[in-house]
A and B are shown apart, each in its own frame.
Chain A
Amino acid sequence: MSAAPTTEVKPAPPAIEKIKVKVDGREVEVPKLTPDWQGKFAPTTMLQACDIAKKDVPHYCYHPKLPVAGNCRMCLVEFGTPALGPDRKPVMNPDGTPKIAKSPRPAIGCATPISPGMEIYTSTPGVKQMREGVLESLLINHPLDCPICDQAGECKLQEYSVDYGQSASRFVEAKVHKPKAVDLGPRIMLDAERCILCTRCIRFTKDVAGDDALGIVNRGSYNTIATFPGLPFDNNYTLNTVDICPVGALTSKDFRFQMRVWFLKETKSVCTSCATGCNVLISSREEKIYRYTPRDNDAVNGPWMCDAGRLNFKWIHRADRLKDVLVRGQKSSWTAALSEIADKLKQAPAGSVAIVASARQTNEELWLISKLKTKLGALSDSVERTGDADKLLVSADKNPNTNGARLTGICFSEMGINLPKIAAGIAKGAIKTLIVFGEDVTKHGISTELLGKLDTLIVSDILPNATTSAAHYVLPGCAHAEKRGSFTNTKGRVQKFLQAVQPQGEARAEWDFLHDLVYNVTGKNGFLTIEGLFNEMAKDVPAFNGLTWAGLGDTGVTVKI
């Protein structure tokens, strides 16, 4: 690990007493207190102790980031505590070990605190029988049609049925049929028959999202998750309930019945919809992206992400993506276009070039552009994007890499103040060449008429816009899902993302062709891979000093911003 500077205020870990318990005969030392769903210290539970002892305890309703409900009963375990004699002293066995008084009843692991010397039994015949019993009762009214269920492959009920289920149902009575394909809200569809009433969705939306919209209506075997009739389940976090639903009850309208989950390739990535940089998994198959799901990172998003960010990937597959290298409107090749551009840039007098880069680009790309900027003595800036923020995850800054643009020197802390200067420079005729990356400058004060005054307009983008159509050179770029790189989020966390799908047509990752261009113009070299490039950048940019690509890990490193 790198010794990276960090701005995270880490409170000195409070001295937490450790206590010894035995899980299935093996002694483990566990902290007496463990952070609960809100991060407050609470007595460690048997389930958490089993987790530390690497003993799997099946559960449905328990979720580490939700209040404990204890209703599914799947985590029932047997346990015992040291026996006390009439003198309140521990009773000893003849061999000197403390005598354990086994509890006559089992207890749910998720809600029972541990005590010193406790013994937990997770694999006794009794526990196995209880799990079988709980599972059988959950399956009473549950349809037995996994092959047509959208959750198949990532269903806890299916997984535990393999472990503890029976091969055939003993239930001969008529099943209660509950409503299917219930439209809960604009993004959520409920199959009430598959619901096991764990209430994870209710707790999430009430206690985490702060929208008390879901409840259980009717009673007994007719129990159903529902909203109040006429009030749709519609906040910006509804799709998280699909993630935490352990069964196929809550499904995403966007993803349901689109693809079997076992065909999906999962790629670790970062959401680009705002500066929070929620960690995501991109699920794709055969170069098509099917869904984003949040990836656990307690330093950024926990296990959650917003609906808007989650569904913001459709544009990647738009038919009008820029796929060809264009030189003055004619199809060309990368080699030809890049060497022509390099020649022009080398001849350009100092001060005659300006650069508008996007804060949607990666740290590495922005750093490469900053190399060009230094060499050419260019004015540079980026474009600010703001919107509404919320209390949970969404940031008001809609650029994923504002801090990257600042740290690499592409823009000042106040983004966009150079744009009028660039516009004025073009108007005066002082600026003859403009390089634009990923922005439509005609919407940001540099009109199409001004662009017409330029000798050379070099534009790299992903989708066509007014700037790309005015460009002399169009260099087709990649969506983040099509390349590797890193972003610096609003709190200064540098997070890397990996490539999920191949670029479209002739498009190349910006860092890849920028490397060629920077080499041609400045003669700098030595970063042919993203790893090498990142490490080179980390040496050059003070804020990134000490970072390495490998050292970023899956969840990133926080730097001082």
Chain B
Amino acid sequence: MSFTVPANLEAEIDELITHYPVKRSASLMLLHALQEHFGHISPEATQWVAKKLGLQPINVHELVTFYPMFRQTAPGKHQIKVCRTLSCALGGSHKLHEHFCTKLGLDPHAHGLQTTKDGKFSVEFVECLAGCGMAPVMMCNEDFHEGVSNAKADEIIGGCR
């Protein structure tokens, strides 16, 4: 599979690199730009960034695997993010997460992002979404939901279908 970056995106990236005294410092910005465009960061994208910045692929791969918000494979069409920081953890976010997983046929105990086989839904835990007063809170794509009960969760899934 060949990996090509459109000319306008590459121009944007070249400009991004000039913001930093050391090329390597632009790594994260390049990864964000590529993820925004392609939806995830493939191994080819990692190699492309390494070449662009004069690094070894492993140097970029370390970053991609360190930050959970960088996707190494395409996430689902609808991304469900359940907060698990303190207030939400106390407010039942682990049960909510388990509910989503069971409902969508995913393993609630697996580590990291999980995507349904049909590629429609991704479920993951995230850290604080700044809605502590109305725990548990979650996001579905760009929409924010507070005080999510199991019934409300089902509604959210239903709204996506």
Q: Which residues of A contact B (CB under 8 A)?
A: 212-219, 222, 226-231
Assembled-state Cα–Cα distance A222/B111 (Å): 10
7 contacts between A and B (CB under 8 A): A212-B58, A215-B59, A228-B57, A229-B43, A230-B43, A231-B57, A231-B58
Contacts of A222 in B (CB 8 A): 111
Contacts of B143 in A (CB 8 A): none
Decide yes or no whether B61 CB sits under 8 A from chain A: yes
Q: Is the CB of A213 within 8 A of B65?
A: no
Which listed residue, B43, B47, B61, B111, touches A217 by the CB 8 Å rule?
A: B61
Q: Is the CB of A214 within 8 A of B65?
A: no
Contacts of A217 in B (CB 8 A): 61-62, 65-66
Contacts of A214 in B (CB 8 A): 58
9 further A-B pairs in the complex, CB-CB below 8 A; given A215-B61, A219-B66, A228-B58 = A212-B58, A213-B58, A214-B58, A215-B58, A215-B59, A219-B65, A226-B61, A228-B61, A231-B57
The closest CB in chain A to the CB of B111 belongs to A222
The closest CB in chain A to the CB of B46 belongs to A228
Q: Which residues of B contact A (CB under 8 A)?
A: 43, 46-47, 56-59, 61-62, 65-66, 111
Distance from A232 Cβ to chain B, minimum over Cβ atoms (Å): 12
Q: Is the CB of A228 within 8 A of B111?
A: no
Contacts of A226 in B (CB 8 A): 58, 61
Contacts of A213 in B (CB 8 A): 56, 58
Q: Which of B43, B47, B58, B66 has the most CB of A within 10 A?
A: B58
Which listed residue, A212, A218, A227, A230, touches B65 by the CB 8 Å rule?
A: A218
Contacts of B46 in A (CB 8 A): 228
Assembled-state Cα–Cα distance A231/B57 (Å): 9
Contacts of B47 in A (CB 8 A): 228
Q: Is the CB of B56 within 8 A of A228?
A: yes
Assembled-state Cα–Cα distance A215/B55 (Å): 12
Distance from A197 Cβ to chain B, minimum over Cβ atoms (Å): 13
Distance from B59 Cβ to chain A, minimum over Cβ atoms (Å): 6
Assembled-state Cα–Cα distance A222/B65 (Å): 10
Distance from B51 Cβ to chain A, minimum over Cβ atoms (Å): 12
Assembled-state Cα–Cα distance A189/B3 (Å): 31
The closest CB in chain A to the CB of B64 belongs to A217
Assembled-state Cα–Cα distance A212/B50 (Å): 12
Assembled-state Cα–Cα distance A226/B47 (Å): 15
Distance from A180 Cβ to chain B, minimum over Cβ atoms (Å): 17
Q: Is the CB of B66 within 8 A of A227?
A: no
Contacts of B62 in A (CB 8 A): 215-217
The closest CB in chain A to the CB of B112 belongs to A222
Contacts of A219 in B (CB 8 A): 65-66
Contacts of A231 in B (CB 8 A): 57-58
Assembled-state Cα–Cα distance A522/B58 (Å): 65
Distance from B46 Cβ to chain A, minimum over Cβ atoms (Å): 7
Assembled-state Cα–Cα distance A230/B56 (Å): 13
For the complex of A and B, the 10 pairs showing the least CB-CB separation, nearest first, are A228-B57, A217-B65, A215-B58, A212-B56, A228-B58, A215-B62, A219-B66, A218-B65, A228-B61, A217-B62
The closest CB in chain A to the CB of B60 belongs to A228
Q: Is the CB of A218 within 8 A of B66?
A: yes
Assembled-state Cα–Cα distance A228/B46 (Å): 10
Assembled-state Cα–Cα distance A107/B9 (Å): 48
Distance from B58 Cβ to chain A, minimum over Cβ atoms (Å): 4
Assembled-state Cα–Cα distance A231/B59 (Å): 13
Contacts of B65 in A (CB 8 A): 217-219
Contacts of B56 in A (CB 8 A): 212-213, 228
Given contacts A218-B66, A228-B46, A229-B43, contact A212 B61 (CB under 8 A): no
The closest CB in chain B to the CB of A216 belongs to B62
Assembled-state Cα–Cα distance A189/B119 (Å): 35
Distance from A227 Cβ to chain B, minimum over Cβ atoms (Å): 6
Distance from B131 Cβ to chain A, minimum over Cβ atoms (Å): 25
Contacts of B58 in A (CB 8 A): 212-215, 226-228, 231
The closest CB in chain A to the CB of B68 belongs to A219
Assembled-state Cα–Cα distance A129/B140 (Å): 47
Q: Which of B46, B59, B66 has the most CB of A within 10 A?
A: B66
Contacts of A212 in B (CB 8 A): 56, 58-59
Assembled-state Cα–Cα distance A227/B50 (Å): 14
Contacts of B66 in A (CB 8 A): 217-219
Assembled-state Cα–Cα distance A357/B86 (Å): 79
Assembled-state Cα–Cα distance A480/B102 (Å): 67
The closest CB in chain A to the CB of B65 belongs to A217
Contacts of B43 in A (CB 8 A): 228-230
Contacts of B59 in A (CB 8 A): 212, 215
The closest CB in chain A to the CB of B50 belongs to A228
Contacts of A227 in B (CB 8 A): 58
The closest CB in chain A to the CB of B62 belongs to A215
Assembled-state Cα–Cα distance A222/B66 (Å): 10
The closest CB in chain A to the CB of B43 belongs to A229
Distance from A192 Cβ to chain B, minimum over Cβ atoms (Å): 13
Assembled-state Cα–Cα distance A538/B111 (Å): 69
Assembled-state Cα–Cα distance A213/B58 (Å): 6
Assembled-state Cα–Cα distance A215/B62 (Å): 7
Q: Which of A214, A215, A216, A229 has the most CB of B within 10 A?
A: A215
Contacts of A215 in B (CB 8 A): 58-59, 61-62
Assembled-state Cα–Cα distance A283/B45 (Å): 46
Distance from A245 Cβ to chain B, minimum over Cβ atoms (Å): 18
Assembled-state Cα–Cα distance A230/B42 (Å): 13
The closest CB in chain B to the CB of A230 belongs to B43
Distance from A326 Cβ to chain B, minimum over Cβ atoms (Å): 56
Contacts of B111 in A (CB 8 A): 222
Assembled-state Cα–Cα distance A229/B59 (Å): 12
